Amino acid sequence: MKQIIKPPFFEIGVKNFVYGDAVLEMAMAADEAAYRYDIDVLFIAPYTEIRRVAKNTTRLVILAPYMDILRPGRGMADVLPEAIQDAGARGVVINHCERPMSLPAIRQTIERANELDLLSFACADTIAEARAIAQLHPDIINPEPSDLIGTGSTSEIDYVQQSIHAVKTIYPDILVEQAAGITTGSQVYNLIYAGAEGVGAASGIFLAEDPITMMREMVSSVRRAYNDLQIVQ
Amino acid sequence: MKQIIKPPFFEIGVKNFVYGDAVLEMAMAADEAAYRYDIDVLFIAPYTEIRRVAKNTTRLVILAPYMDILRPGRGMADVLPEAIQDAGARGVVINHCERPMSLPAIRQTIERANELDLLSFACADTIAEARAIAQLHPDIINPEPSDLIGTGSTSEIDYVQQSIHAVKTIYPDILVEQAAGITTGSQVYNLIYAGAEGVGAASGIFLAEDPITMMREMVSSVRRAYNDLQIVQ
Amino acid sequence: MKQIIKPPFFEIGVKNFVYGDAVLEMAMAADEAAYRYDIDVLFIAPYTEIRRVAKNTTRLVILAPYMDILRPGRGMADVLPEAIQDAGARGVVINHCERPMSLPAIRQTIERANELDLLSFACADTIAEARAIAQLHPDIINPEPSDLIGTGSTSEIDYVQQSIHAVKTIYPDILVEQAAGITTGSQVYNLIYAGAEGVGAASGIFLAEDPITMMREMVSSVRRAYNDLQIVQ
Amino acid sequence: MKQIIKPPFFEIGVKNFVYGDAVLEMAMAADEAAYRYDIDVLFIAPYTEIRRVAKNTTRLVILAPYMDILRPGRGMADVLPEAIQDAGARGVVINHCERPMSLPAIRQTIERANELDLLSFACADTIAEARAIAQLHPDIINPEPSDLIGTGSTSEIDYVQQSIHAVKTIYPDILVEQAAGITTGSQVYNLIYAGAEGVGAASGIFLAEDPITMMREMVSSVRRAYNDLQIVQ
């Protein structure tokens, strides 16, 4: 059965900022933070670390950074959906801007993920692209606006609302994550407080002076913002 | 230090024929066969299995099926050389026909492998391509002739000698593997007896009725042919 | 100013079925048919023939089969939008299934086409993809269903209505073309009669015994179906 | 029959620096310079301009910037070898660094060019890559060293001799062109005087204040250097 993600969630993109034991350490600390703050934490791990991270964590939702759509057989260097799932991935990133995919490939990867009950986490560069991908009905959309990265919080908050609205009018059950250049816990707080269903970070964590502390601060900010929101409501 | 491969060696390409535990079982059986017959066995494992295979074997020489040339940092879905090495790979496949690479990428991947003391195992489709790649001085060349696959042993033996000669006249220290549609132990025997420095198989093993038995037969055939050769000499 | 296309229109895809003078002959005959039947005819010409076809026709709407988004400068082998326009193209094909594009590339090519007043003619493999691309607001969508090619007319007519509806609910001004394996004039007639705004053919024309006669039959069928429709209404 | 190129020759790469009439003007001026100085001039023209340039020049050797290897048929947006030849190209650029190709594609494109008697003009980034491509026996190699661009003339002249030697020891009949950041006529003179068989320029011409004058100066420098060399010998 497909993993259910409860918003507000947090997402950590390892990319290739670290490798080996450093991935495992971050994963175990994130697993602990997920428990402590009772927050669903998505963890995008390099292929080589998926199995070890899965073995050493219980609450993290591990995603592979990409997969191909082949079936078991040939395909030297292709990433088999069954293989990432067997290793412990519960989902897959689709169309990240560092790995753009053709439209048929996006569609077919979402279909293949559904077949295996893998979460499909699709990226988009603009609100128009988010609407386009929403038509293919992935589970989560990350409409990361390349051009907004690093701008002030006000425009980001407008963008949160616009992007959520754009996606939800197509399929209300698609979760919408915000991940535009997040580098502090207070940014995470503000986005969740403004209505974001999830927030994600990669370089904001791994290029911080103390990545694990930064990750904890961000996960705890998701919880605080959510609690504060419920008081208000 | 770069792993030294002693010919005659044997190479197993997992590709995506199996995944998960089946990869580990094959790897452990191959490790045992490598010991029993005292043969270097290269094992090309999917990214997700490299670490677990490395942890559970001691004599197998694990290769990744591909790597990118990036440095630690961004690159969602890229394969970091340091990451595959940390997981336990001792080398990398370059330019497999199921993952063709541009000429600059081939050159840069060989350079990056050398930087990390990773073995570079480069594939070629024809003798002309084998000569071309030999100029870039990888450690091993597999001049697998797409058009010879499945033909009789006589022409294969001509090809063995031609391809070895073509590569060795450029750099005598490049090892030359033969891997054209090998499906039986006796083919392995004949190729080694004809002078091949290494033999490899993928579908010939994994599509066999009993893949582990087939692998053992092939590894033992390398040893027998090599012993018989030394009696003759 | 962007060329205005008046439905019902017809589209001819030369692809690489013919080259040289045979392209020009087809173009000149299509230009004549466009006049005779007073139908807008889109003509997708190989890059090498755009200028000559433009010089020898007056009513054809010439499209390039692809373009890059670069600006004048470097880019050996890239296709400059300004260059195809200068040669006589009035639009460009985007995301043909024989040349799939990433989602950001589709978006940016539509934007670049708009900047130069070039028509954007975007292809999709399924109705879901047609909806996705519609969000990026090209001028024309060709939701060619790979899996419907060659099936009977009933399902095609259902598909016509579904695909038109899917696109028009997003942007009513996008024109929707049908081009699923059209090989006869009567298929063209039926599709237009069923409400298609445009019909296209490639192999159906160029693999016919007499391509020019087949093209004429198809263009005249557009006119006949349209006239018959108006009598009914 | 394949065009014969007589060294020392000159090569002009239009890339996308200009388009439309500006390409034709340069081509006609280059054609005149080719006659005046009795020098073979290769002219790499955008696809859209090949036919018009061919019609308006008689001595230029026109090359297409790339071609695919398909046969007449499908292939929207592919570049058919027969189509560029019919339009007037006498050869094709292969593996330019702005359009890198896989090794099998390089080999197959050279074979396809030979089949049609089209000149194969292959690019390489380093001397090692030049040796690699030389094994596939194209007609001309341009071993343009990305890292040498803009350095002083001494090292360039060393490079000329090294790259010619590297290629000629593999196949003595391959012509070797030098094209590393040429921006003046005196650089052209020095390279030819140092033994280069051909010299090429792209941005050095098209970003000059007066491109046509610069082109003439370069072509005339080829002639002067060649004449001066013959006096010495």
Cα nearest neighbour of A136 on chain C: C128
A20 → closest Cβ in B74, B83, B99: B83
Total number of residues shown for chain B: 233
Q: What local confidence, expressed as pLDDT, does residue A148 receive?
A: 57
- Give all chains having 3 or more CB-to-CB distances under 8 Å with chain B: A, D
What phi, psi does D212 have (nearest 5°)?
Answer: -70, -40
| Contact in structure between A86 and A55 (CB atoms under 8 Å) | no
Asked whether residue D160 carries a pLDDT value surpassing 50, the answer given is yes
Residue type, A174: I
What is the domain extent for residue A101?
Answer: 9-232
In 3D, which of A54, D56, C101 has the Cα closest to residue B49? A54
* CA distance, residue C193 to nearest chain D CA (Å): 28
Instruction: Tell me, yes or no, whether B4 lies in a domain.
Output: no
Asked whether residue C181 carries a pLDDT value surpassing 60, the answer given is yes
| Other CB atoms within 10 Å distance of the CB of residue A154 | 10
B83 → closest Cβ in A48, A82, A99: A48
- Give all chains having 3 or more CB-to-CB distances under 8 Å with chain D: B, C
Q: In this predicted model, what pLDDT tens digit does every residue of D10-47 receive, in sequence order?
A: 999 999 999 999 999 999 999 999 999 999 999 999 99
Contacts of C192 (CB under 8 A, 6+ apart): C8, C199, C221, C222, C225, C226, C229
* Confidence class for position C146, pLDDT limits 50, 70, 90: low
Asked whether residue D4 carries a pLDDT value surpassing 50, the answer given is yes
Contacts of B28 (CB under 8 A, 6+ apart): B56, B57
Q: What local confidence, expressed as pLDDT, does residue D150 receive?
A: 45
Instruction: Tell me, yes or no, whether D89 lies in a domain.
Output: yes
CA distance B193 to B222: 9
Tokens of A50: 């998926």
Between positions 86 and 105 of C, the ones with CB within 8 A of A are 95, 97, 100-105
Overall number of domains in chain B: 1
Q: Are the beta carbons of C97 and A106 separated by less than 8 Å? A: no
Give CA separation, A59 vs A225, A227, B149, in Å. Answer: 21, 21, 48
Residue type, C165: H
Instruction: Tell me, yes or no, whether C39 lies in a domain.
Output: yes
Tokens of B224: 């027998």
Q: What local confidence, expressed as pLDDT, does residue D65 receive?
A: 98
| Other CB atoms within 10 Å distance of the CB of residue C161 | 12
Instruction: Tell me, yes or no, whether C118 lies in a domain.
Output: yes
B48 → closest Cβ in A21, A47, A203: A47
C1, burial (CB in 10 Å: exposed 0-12, middle 13-18, buried 19+): exposed
State the distance between the two ends of chain D, measured CA to CA, in whole angstroms: 33
Q: What local confidence, expressed as pLDDT, does residue B57 receive?
A: 98
- Which residues of A are less than 8 Å from B15 in CB distance? 73-76
What phi, psi does C123 have (nearest 5°)?
Answer: -105, 155
The DSSP secondary structure of chain D, one letter per residue, reads -PPP-PSSEEEEE-TBTS-THHHHHHHHHHHHHHHHHT--EEEE--GGGHHHHHHH-SS-EEEES----PPSB--TT---HHHHHHHT--EEEES-TTS--BHHHHHHHHHHHHHTT-EEEEE-SSHHHHHHHHTT--SEEE---GGGTT--HHHHHHHHHHHHHHHHTT-TTSEEEE-SS--SHHHHHHHHHTT-SEEEESHHHHTSSSHHHHHHHHHHHHHHHHHHHHHH-
Query: What is the interface size between C and D, counted as CB pairs within 8 Å?
Result: 130
Buried b (16+ CB within 10 A) or exposed e, D131-165: bbbbbbbbbbbbbbbeebeeeeeeebbebbeebbe
Tokens of B199: 């033999």
- For C34-44, what is the mean pLDDT? 98
* CA distance, residue A70 to nearest chain B CA (Å): 9
**Is residue A72 within 8 angstroms of chain B, CB to CB?**
yes
- For C47-74, what is the mean pLDDT? 97
- For D164-185, what is the mean pLDDT? 94
* CA distance, residue B25 to nearest chain D CA (Å): 35
Q: What local confidence, expressed as pLDDT, does residue B155 receive?
A: 55
Give CA separation, B224 vs B189, B212, B218, B219, D71, in Å. Answer: 7, 18, 10, 9, 48
The helix/strand/coil state of C204 is helix
- Give all chains having 3 or more CB-to-CB distances under 8 Å with chain A: B, C
In 3D, which of D52, D21, D25, D2 has the Cα closest to residue D12? D25
Q: Are the beta carbons of D83 and C19 separated by less than 8 Å? A: yes
**Is residue A133 within 8 angstroms of chain C, CB to CB?**
yes
Instruction: Tell me if there are at least 3 CB pairs under 8 Å linking chains B and C.
Output: no
Q: Are the beta carbons of B104 and D100 separated by less than 8 Å? A: yes
- For C220-224, what is the mean pLDDT? 98
Q: Which residues of chain B have pLDDT under 70?
A: 146-155
- Which residues of B are less than 8 Å from D134 in CB distance? 135
- Which residues of D are less than 8 Å from B100 in CB distance? 102-105
Give CA separation, A13 vs A141, B9, B74, in Å. Answer: 15, 40, 10
Cα of B47 vs its chain's centroid, Å: 16
- For D107-131, what is the mean pLDDT? 96
Asked whether residue D232 carries a pLDDT value surpassing 90, the answer given is no
Tokens of D225: 């250097």
Chain A contact probe: residue of B25, B48, B149 with most A CBs at under 10 A: B48
Instruction: Tell me, yes or no, whether D43 lies in a domain.
Output: yes
Q: Which residues of chain A have pLDDT under 70?
A: 146-155
Asked whether residue D105 carries a pLDDT value surpassing 50, the answer given is yes
* CA distance, residue D7 to nearest chain C CA (Å): 24
Which helix (H) or strand (E) segment holds residue A186: the answer is: helix A185-193
Instruction: Tell me, yes or no, whether B1 lies in a domain.
Output: no
What is the ipTM score, two decimals?
0.95
* CA distance, residue B115 to nearest chain D CA (Å): 17
**Is residue D44 within 8 angstroms of chain C, CB to CB?**
yes
- Which residues of C are less than 8 Å from D25 in CB distance? none
Residues facing B9 on adjacent strands: B198
A83 → closest Cβ in B13, B44, B46: B46
Q: Are the beta carbons of A129 and C105 separated by less than 8 Å? A: no
CA distance A47 to A57: 16
Instruction: Tell me, yes or no, whether B131 lies in a domain.
Output: yes
Q: What local confidence, expressed as pLDDT, does residue B106 receive?
A: 97
Instruction: Tell me, yes or no, whether A3 lies in a domain.
Output: no
Q: Any idea what the CATH number is for the domain that residue B32 is in?
A: 3.20.20.70
Give, as one character, the DSSP assignment of residue C46.
-
Cα nearest neighbour of A64 on chain B: B77
In 3D, which of B73, B72, B77 has the Cα closest to residue B116? B72
- Which residues of B are less than 8 Å from D142 in CB distance? none
Q: How many alpha carbons lie under 13 Å from residue C130 in its C-beta half-sphere?
A: 26
CA distance A80 to B15: 10
